[in-house]
Amino acid sequence: MPASTRHHRALAVFVHCLGILAAVPALPAAAPEAAAAPRPAAVTTPPAAPPARAAPPAAPPARAAPPPRAAPLPTTGPTAVGPAMAVAVAARATSAEPTPPSAPPAVAPPSRAPAPAPPPPVTVAVAPESSPAPRYRIHVRNVGNSPVDTTVRQELPSGSSATAISAGGQSSRSGGSRAEVTWRLRLPAHSSTTLGTALTATAPGQPLTAPACAFTSDGTRPYDCATATWQAAGAAPAAEVTEAPPWRRYPVLLAGLGILLLISAVVAWVWRRRRGRGRRVTAAALADGATDGGRGTIYPRPATPSPSRRRRTPPGWLLVGAAVVVLAGVVGTAGWTATRQVSSIDTQKQPTSGAWRGTGVSGPMGMPLRESAFEFTVYRMTCGAAGSAATAQGASAPPPGARSCQATVGVRNLTGAQQPWHGQLQRAYLPGNRWVSTDEPATRAANLGRDVFANPVAAGSRVVLPLVFTVDGQDPPRQLELRSGVFSAGVRVQMP
């Protein structure tokens, strides 16, 4: 064998051995464990005890069997393994820990819809009475299996006061500006009670809206809220403003007038052209018949070539008139549209009222207001004293003199799919066209650490929760702007 061939073969054997030694630690450990498994010990039957007069003593406890030793591994022959394999097998045999199970495959868990919030233990329903003076009935029910201590508050409309309150109720001021009636109740399990109030009317025949909420015993977290609007007996409903029909709108009238003038001009030009052509044909026929030997025919000879005539264009006055009419229509329509848009702009409205989806809706506190996806109802708004804004965990310190204003808001998802919403889109407007967004750390603290904006609102569900706004100055918010999305027109709730 040549020297080069021997060297190559020796090198190949050496590299092959290195590969085997490198792959030995990665081999499955089933075979060594099987090889190291101890053999079952032989069971020996103890000899029968000789008969004795007394009961034999209890046998001593058996000692634990010594740990089995691993079977010796062969070091020669075709099944020989390297020293690394022997060390690994010895370490596994002497180890007392069991083999850990294999990890499950890395498969992402399926996404689940957010679980709906549990129903509140206390429910509230408000109904107005058909009476000359505003009267309301408040039904409070405990649907749980244990007694509940609750505080029921009814917000009174601005300018009205309570003239009659059911037993246990007290009239007070909410935040120093709005009157309210408060009851402290203890409801047994599966019980209900009915409360009543009578108010003074602010104006004859004017509807009054008075929402009511049931809170926890400390009066901070709402269980449930409801609202109702009292109408005077026999009062006619407010007239609805309907949009004018298309034929009574100025842009449609101007466009129709311009089209009518243009059609009239075209008809007049066509008629004048046909009339002039007929006159020319008659005149030419008479002229040819006069020079044709006196035969008197009015038709030209077929062999006589007709003179080439230049195609006549519409007269200049018609073109100019049509252009003026079209220009006047366009300018008039654009001017009217711009005037209507400018006149409809309210300087008191905020820039976000011109959103892309839906139409902005405004209303008082306690009235359900619907936008593109949600129906918002603001039941209550209270503000603390100056400097009452506390620093929530993980939030920056509020400015000196800042105070917290808490709004009790009901949110109902009117769509057939879950809808997310965001705290930065909920705003409280202050005097001077200043606004602040929801204080999310303070709102999370008011909801017992639950982030109400983390999960979307389930389809068809309704939640009642507090929203906290940190404001500065002595004046409370004069308006709340609530919306479901960035491109939603949202609703604006006027504060009393």
Instruction: Give pLDDT tens digits for 355-372.
Output: 467 677 899 999 999 998
Query: Residues, the chain, total?
Result: 496
DSSP-assigned beta bridge partners for residue 196? 137
pLDDT confidence of 135, banded at 50, 70, 90?
A: very high
DSSP one-letter string for 290-332: HTSTT----SPPTTSPPPP-PPPPPPHHHHHHHHHHHHHHHHH
Q: What is the DSSP letter of 356?
A: S
224 pLDDT more than 90: yes
Does residue 293 surpass a pLDDT of 60?
no
The pLDDT score that the predictor gives to residue 480 is 94
Give the 3-state secondary structure of residue 339.
helix
Tokens of 391: 């620093």
- At residue 54, φ and ψ (nearest 5 deg) are -95, 160
| Whether the predicted pLDDT of 163 surpasses 50 | yes
Tokens standing for residue 420: 């997310």
- Select from 347, 342, 349 the least CA-distant residue to 435: 349
Angle at 383 between CA 410 and CA 431, to 5 degrees: 95
The pLDDT of 28-43, averaged and rounded, is 45
Q: Per-residue confidence at 289, pLDDT binned at 50, 70, 90?
A: low
Spatial separation of the C-alpha atoms in residues 186 and 184, rounded to whole Å:
7
**Residues facing 130 on adjacent strands:** none
Spans of all domains in the chain: 122-230, 247-279, 351-494
Range 459-485 burial, b when 16+ CB lie within 10 A, else e: eeebbbbbbbbbbbeeebbebbbbbbb
Pairwise pLDDT comparison (179 vs 308), residue with the higher score:
179
Residue 453 — very low, low, confident or very high, per pLDDT cuts 50/70/90? very high
Q: CB of 156 within 8 A of CB of 181?
A: yes
Q: What is the pLDDT of residue 152?
A: 94
Judge residue 116's burial from the number of C-beta atoms within 10 Å of its C-beta, 0-12 exposed, 13-18 middle, 19 or more buried: middle
Assign 377 a pLDDT band (cuts: 50, 70, 90).
very high
Q: Which residues contact 415 (CB under 8 A, 6 or more apart)?
A: 373, 459
pTM of this prediction? 0.55
DSSP symbols for 417-482: S-B---GGG-EEEETTTEEEE--HHHHHHHTTT--TTTSPBPTT-EEEEEEEEEE-SSSPPSEEEE
User: Higher confidence at residue 463 or residue 34?
Assistant: 463
Q: What is the reported pLDDT for 347?
A: 44
Facing residues of 222 across strands?
215
Mean pLDDT of 386-391: 69
Architecture of domain 351-494: Sandwich (2.60)
**Mean pLDDT computed over 255-268:** 80
Give the pLDDT confidence score for residue 31 in this predicted structure: 45
Q: Which two tokens stand for residue 131?
A: 């009476």
- Could you report the per-residue pLDDT of 58-99, keeping only the tens digit for each? 444 445 444 445 444 444 444 444 444 444 444 444 444 455
**Sheet containing 462-471: order of strands:** 369-370, 374-383, 403-413, 462-471
Confidence of residue 298 (pLDDT cuts 50, 70, 90): low
Higher pLDDT, 20 or 370: 370
Average pLDDT over residues 269-274: 79
Mean pLDDT of 173-187: 81
Average pLDDT, the chain: 73
Looking at domain 122-230, its CATH architecture is Sandwich (2.60)
Q: What is the DSSP letter of 97?
A: S
Terminal-to-terminal C-alpha distance of the chain: 109
- CA–CA separation, 129 and 210 (whole Å): 12
pLDDT of residue 6: 66
| 438 pLDDT more than 90 | yes
- Residues near 67 by beta carbon (within 8 Å), at least 6 away in sequence: 96
Task: Give pLDDT, residue 312.
Answer: 62
Residue 248, SS3? helix
Task: For residue 34, give the amino acid letter.
Answer: A
The reply to whether 122-230 and 351-494 are identical in fold is: yes
